[in-house]
Each structure stands twice: as structure tokens, then as C-alpha cells.
Amino acid sequence: MGNHTKRDKAWTKNDKIFLGILIPVLALFFFFNTLPLLKGFYYGLTNYRGYGDYDFVGLRNFKDIFTDLRVGKSYLFTFKYAVVMTIAVNLISLILALGLNREIRGKSALRGIYFVPNILGGLVVGYIFSFIFTYILPTVGEITGIGFLQNSMLASTKTAWLAIVIVGAWQGIAMNTIIYISGLQTVPAEVYEAGMIDGVSGWKKFWNLTFPLILPFFTINLVLCMKNALMVFDQIMSLTKGGPSQSTESISYLIYQNGMSGGQFGFQSANAFVFFLVIVIISFLQMKFLGGKEEQL
């Protein structure tokens, strides 16, 4: 971008016009993004219910977050979900992409079908899967005699989170697969030919030749997938509503549930603010770590 080499940094008339456009945009962004963030911090200092009278309670809410069992559990659940999702989705979509990138019949039709889940709304998909988990899988379990299927996956604290992962992955894989495919298409055929001469084959070839070349795509997928998983809401709302036994409450769900309808407007505002800090730290670490790795290779 820097190829116009005006050393003169003074504000020309042209610059001022640009500034005139920039300021309203910034104002809009500030008013609906930064301001609410600051307000959230302010509400976090109160025992506000969201309506009526309230008092200041200082940093009490922020202290309470770290000892609140429910908040702690929701963080644990959300992270567990995000990590498992990220691993599962990336693994499966990478395999799918490798398959879909080959010279196979009906390639574009297959790609088209595999992408479908991504365009469907999470809420409705959740409702459909909820039916499958509650009625179809137990029936299948009974017929085939597979024990763990006989109870609804959504009804047990041990499996409910897995059910949410399955639905999340069903939708998430589509996007990552497409990105991996476009990554694989950037790998030149010469790389393989060179590899063949060296006698490199199979897993080794993938790991040593292909993977480094699609590493940027891997990074994107990791970041995207993690980010989406940390904000999981629709699936919770449609599959479990946080149950059974509060075992599947994500952070977003808890903020919505207790903040909006539970009378914890102040406390959940504090929670939201802490959540924001956590996201910033994770994103920062992710970029630093993966960025460093990319340079290395």
C-alpha cells in the first residue's frame, strides 16, 4: 500500500474530505460498539436487575465471578466444547477436503451437498437434531441392541455436550472443508511430482509437503472455528436449554438467561466484560502462536 511516497504528512484538502467521511463512521461504531462495552463495565459495578432502582456494589460482582460455581461451569463447558469442536471439525474437514480434491465423479455435486449444512440456521437444525436424539437414536439403539444409544443423548450429563458437538460439527465442517479445498488447490502439482521422485509417500508426503503449504488455511480454520465455538448459543437454545443439570450452559447462554430474564443484569454484565477479556487474550495468543509457526516453516 505504501508506494505513494509523499513525504509530506500535512493534511491536504483531499485528506480532510476523507476525514469527514471517517468521523461519522467512527462515531457510529463507537456509539454501538465501544459505548455499550463501557456501559457494560459500569453496569457490572451495580446490583441492577435491568429495571427499577439499584445500588453500586463496587467490584463485588467481578470478585464473585471467580467463585461462582455456575459461571465456572459455563466457562469449563464452553472451552471443552470449543476445543473438541475445533479438533473434530478440522480433522474431519481436512479428510473430506483431501477426498473432494481428487479426480472423482460428481465432484461439484458432492461439494455442493457437503456445504448445505452451513447455510441452514443453527436454531432449526438444532430442533431437527433434538428430535433425532430423543426419538430416532433410542429406537435404533433398541433394535440394534447398542446400549448407550438406548437413552436419549440429551438426557444424560455425560453425553449431552457430545450431542451439541455433533450438531455443531455437522454445521461447522462444511465451511472448513471448503476453505481447505481452496487451500489444496493452491498446492502445485510439481510438489507432488518432486515428492514422487524422492520416494516420499502417504502420510509422510501429506505431512511434509502438502500440510506446510496449506498452513495459512489451517490457521484461518482454527481461528474461525474456535471463535464460533466460543460463542455457541443457538444449539444450546434448541437442544438442551443448558440442561441436564446445568451441564451444557455456555457463557453466551448464561449471560442471556440470567442477565435478561434472571434479574442478574449487573452480575452478568460483569461476566460479559470478563468474557470479553478472555476472548481478547485467546485471540492474541492464537495469532501469536500460529503466526510464529507460519514464519518458522
Partner 1 sequence: MKKKNREGAVGGKAINNVINVLLALGCLTILFPLYMTVIIAFKKPSEMTNDVAGALGFPANWNFDNFIEAMRVTDFWRSLGNSLFLTGVTVIICILLHSLAGYVIGRKMAKHKLFKASYFYIVSGMFVPFAVLMMPLVKQTAQIGMANRLGVIVLYVVFFMPMNVLLYSGYLKNIPIALEEAACVDGATVWQTYWKIIFPNMKPMHATVAVLTAMSTWNDVMTPLVIMSGSDVNTLPLAQLNFQSQFGTNYNLAFASYLLALLPILIFYIICQKQIINGVVNGAVK
Partner 2 sequence: MAERKKKIMALFLAVTTVSGLLLGGCGKKENAEGKVVIELVHYKPEAVDVFEALEEKFNETHDDIELVIDSPNDAMVILKTRFIRENNPDIIGIGGDINYSNFLDANMLMDISDFDGLSEIKENYLSTNKDLEYVPKDGVYAVPYMANAAGVLYNHSMFQEHGWEIPTTWEEFLQLCEDIQSEGIQPLYFGYKDTWTCLAPWNAIAVNLCETDIAYQVNSGNATFAEAYKEVAVKDKELLKYGQPNPVAYSYNDACTAFARGQAAMYVIGSYAIPQIKSVNPEMDIDSFVFPASSEAGENILNSGNDLMFSVMEDCEHKEEAYEVLRFLLEDENIQSYLDDQSAVPCKKGDFKIAPELEGMKDYIDKGIVADYQDHHYPSEMSVDAMIQTYLFDNNSNSLETFLSRFDKEWIRYNKDIISKVKKYQEKGE
Site residues, partner 2 (CB under 8 A): 47, 49-55, 64, 67-70, 134, 151-152, 154-157, 242-246, 258, 260-265
| 69, interface contact from partner 1, partner 2, none, CB < 5-8 Å by kind | partner 2
297, 212 contact by CB (below 8 A): yes
49 lies in the binding site for partner 1 (CB under 8 A): no
Q: Residues near 174 by Cβ (< 8 Å), separated by ≥ 6?
A: 93, 114, 115, 116, 117, 118
Per-position x/- string for 207-226, each x denoting binding to partner 1 as judged by CB under 8 A, each - no binding: ---x------x--x---x--
164, 84 contact by CB (below 8 A): no
239 lies in the binding site for partner 1 (CB under 8 A): no
Distance in Å, CB of 156 to partner 2, minimum: 7
Q: Residues near 147 by Cβ (< 8 Å), separated by ≥ 6?
A: 141
Specify the residue, 161 or 275, whose C-beta has the smaller distance to partner 1.
275
Cell of 122: 443453527
* Distance, CA of 252 to CA of 168 (rounded, Å): 15
Give the phi and the psi of residue 57 in degrees, each rounded to 5: -125, 15
Specify the residue, 177 or 258, whose C-beta has the smaller distance to partner 2.
258
Rg (CA), the chain: 24
Q: Which of 84, 88, 110, 215 binds partner 1 (CB under 8 A)?
A: 110
* Distance, CA of 21 to CA of 3 (rounded, Å): 23
33 lies in the binding site for partner 1 (CB under 8 A): yes
Q: Which of 238, 240, 248, 249 binds partner 1 (CB under 8 A)?
A: 238
Q: Which of 9, 53, 147, 199 binds partner 1 (CB under 8 A)?
A: 9
Q: Which of 54, 192, 212, 244 binds partner 1 (CB under 8 A)?
A: 192
99, 238 contact by CB (below 8 A): no
- Contact segment (CB under 8 A) with partner 1 among 64-72, 145-153, 155-163, 228-236 equals 228-236
205, 191 contact by CB (below 8 A): no
Q: Which of 160, 175, 226, 236 binds partner 1 (CB under 8 A)?
A: 175
Provide the β-strand partners of residue 46: 56
Cell of 196: 514422487
Q: Which of 246, 256, 263, 290 binds partner 1 (CB under 8 A)?
A: 256
Distance in Å, CB of 53 to partner 2, minimum: 5
